[in-house]
Every structure is written in structure tokens, then in C-alpha cells.
Amino acid sequence: MTIQDFHQEFKIGLDKVDSLASPNFLAEEVDSMLNNAQEEFIEQRAYGNNPQKTGLEEDQKRRDDLRDIIKNFKSNVFITTVNNKPNGTFVSLPSDYRHSIQEEADVTYKDCNGAIQTKRIPVVPVTHDRYGVIISDPFNKPFEDELLRLDYEGDMFELITDGTVTITGYHLRYIKQPRKIQFGTAYDPSSFGYGIDQTSELATHTHREIVNKGVTHALQNIESNRYQTNRIKELEIE
């Protein structure tokens, strides 16, 4: 859908084309509800926040729904500071990062003959609490066939080895933060002016469901008795 289609279908969903008794939402209000709907849609597909409790990797439809905002990223720039954990190094994330799907690292190590070897190993996300448990257990520390990964505020991950390997590359497959849905005539307070037309980056077949979710948000806002009916229809689609 174009952004004009999004707004037209939204108005049809609220019976606006026939000038029925729904509020006359401003373009920026429609944009806001459509963007909230898009955020909700991504959360449901990526994290399993849906009636079936299935996430991205558990269902082909959900992978298809998000395929246009899945990207690959590689970095060979690593930052070591006094704040690193033992055998840890920081790596910067792409600016549009939202959610990790898969992570791997290229490492070098010395084999039993002292020769330098390379391999690719999985990166395992852990919480800071879990890291504390793992690192205090001599039988459960990170080892040469995997790395641990910790989240940090901002745009950094910390990768932690067992000290016997050197990280030379980091590979990330991730869900990107999509651009905002925006009608060009809507006022954009972040730029103190009027923006440009921007439609959803998600696959075209998802647009109808995003519109339906936007309508549901609108019906909630106006406390319409059609809200519950519309929500039931949404759950049937999900």
C-alpha cells in the first residue's frame, strides 16, 4: 500500500468514507495509530506475543511477515576498555538494530601443534545475572566452541571468550527498526515541519493487518462498542 492507501483504508475501516459518526482524526493522529499498530505487529511476530505464542523462528508465516526488515551485519572492529569483563570486548551495533535473530563469531586459536587455526562459532546471549552464575562455576564457563554475549545500554554488545581464542569477526542477523509510516501533509514535531510520504517497509501482504490493528486502536480511543468485535477479528487472523 502507498501511504495514501493506508489512510484511505483506515478511514474506510472507521466508516469515514460515508461520513458516519466517528471522530475526524487528523493525518498525524492516523499516522500515530498506524505506527502503534506496526509496532504491535512486529512485537507479535518477533517475540511470540500472539494467541498462538509462536515467535519468529517457530512459524514460516511469521518469518514471511518480517522478511523485509531482516538484515545481516558484520563487524571486525572491537573495543576493549577498563569496563570490559575478563576476556570481553565490545562490538557496536547497527544504528537500526531492534532484535537479534542469530549471532556468530569468527575466531582464531592455536591447535595442539601451535598452528593458528580459524573457525566460526555461535554467540550465546545471556543476562548479567546468568553470566555471574556461569562465570562462578568452573564447569560451566565459556569455552572455545561458543562465546557469551551481554547487552549494554546504547548500541553495544559485549562478547566474552574463555581466553583461548581471539575474535576476528562478528556476524549478526537481526530485525531492523522500520521507518515510520508518515503522510506528507502531517505535521512532524521532531522536525518542526511537514514530512515526506513514507509507507510501511513491511511486506505488502502485511499491510491490511496493520490497518486493521490501527482501526482497533482508534476504536479504543473513541470507546466504540465495535472495538471488541474488531479485536476478535484480529485474533482470528493472528
| Largest pairwise CA distance in the chain | 80
Q: What distance in Å separates the CA atoms of residue 68 and residue 176, rounded to the nearest whole number?
A: 9
Residue 108 pLDDT more than 80?
yes
21 and 49, same structural domain? yes
Average pLDDT, the chain: 84
Out of 126, 144, 176, pick the residue that ends a domain.
Answer: 176
User: Which residue did the predictor score with more confidence, 57 or 77?
Assistant: 77
Which range marks the domain in which residue 203 is found?
3-67+178-237
What pTM was computed for the model? 0.80
* Same domain for 75 and 50: no
172 and 213 share one domain: no
Is the pLDDT score of 47 beyond 90?
no
Domain boundary among 134, 150, 176: 176
Q: Model confidence over 113-149: pLDDT tens digits?
A: 999 999 999 999 999 999 988 888 877 766 668 999 9
Return d(Cα 151, Cα 169) in angstroms, integer.
Answer: 18
For 4-36, how does the pLDDT look when each residue is reduced to its tens digit (9 = 90+)?
999 999 998 887 544 554 567 888 899 999 999
Strand partners, 72: 173
> Are 159 and 188 in a shared domain?
no
Boundary residue ending a domain (176, 198, 214): 176
Crossing angle of helices 27-47 and 207-221, in 10° steps, is: 120
How far is 125 from 104, CA to CA, in rounded Å? Answer: 11
Q: For the beta carbon of residue 237, count every other beta carbon within 10 angstroms.
A: 11
* Structure confidence at residue 104 (pLDDT): 97
Same domain, 81 and 165: yes
Confidence check: pLDDT of 162 > 80: yes
Q: Round to whole Å and give the CA distance between 16 and 198.
A: 22
Q: What percent of the chain has pLDDT over 90?
A: 55
Q: Give the count of domains, the chain.
A: 2
Confidence of residue 82 (pLDDT cuts 50, 70, 90): confident
Instruction: Give me the half-sphere count of Cα atoms (radius 13 Å) on the Cβ side of residue 139.
Output: 0
Angle subtended at Cα 213 by Cα 63 and Cα 40, rounded to the nearest 5 degrees:
55
Enter the C-alpha cell of residue 217.
486502536
Burial class (CB in 10 A: 0-12, 13-18, 19+), 181: buried
Cα-based distances in Å from 156 to 31, 46, 79, 150: 31, 21, 10, 9
